[in-house]
Amino acid sequence: MKHTCPECGQPLPTADGVLFDPARASVARNGKGVRLTPCENQIFKILFDKPKVVHDRWDIWYNLYGHRPEGEDPGIGIITVFIHRMRKKLAPLGLRIETHWGLGLTLAADEIEKSDV
């Protein structure tokens, strides 16, 4: 079954059973869903669009805050805060944000449990 955006009719991105609706800042998997804040939504999109790529925290920070004048942006520590909050939200969906020490972050999914119906 194809899922489409209710506003524009375009197909929604899916992978590993994950349904991501960036317009509504929502992620669903295995019949469960969560809402993301605007910044969490941007981070999830970066990780979701290229799941095999290790994303450097500075690159993620630049995507969120690179357009702001110097001195008006939060420090890199804000990315750690967002990732911490996102891990709590995504865990019930079987999704993980994995840290590759010294390299960056990736999005990973637990195996989808198959039930005998």
The reported pTM is: 0.80
Report the pLDDT value the prediction gives residue 114, as an integer from 0 to 100. 41
Top mean pLDDT of 9-13, 27-31, 58-62, 74-78 is at 58-62
Residue ranges covered by each domain of the chain: 36-109
pLDDT value for 69: 60
Residue 5 has pLDDT above 70, yes or no: no
Q: Give the Cα separation of 94 and 23 in Å (integer).
A: 22
Q: Which CATH number fits domain 36-109: 3.40.30.10, 3.40.640.10, 1.10.10.10, 2.60.40.1180?
A: 1.10.10.10
User: Does residue 77 surpass a pLDDT of 50?
Assistant: yes
pLDDT greater than 90 at residue 27:
yes
The mean-pLDDT minimum among 14-18, 45-49, 103-107, 113-117 falls in 113-117
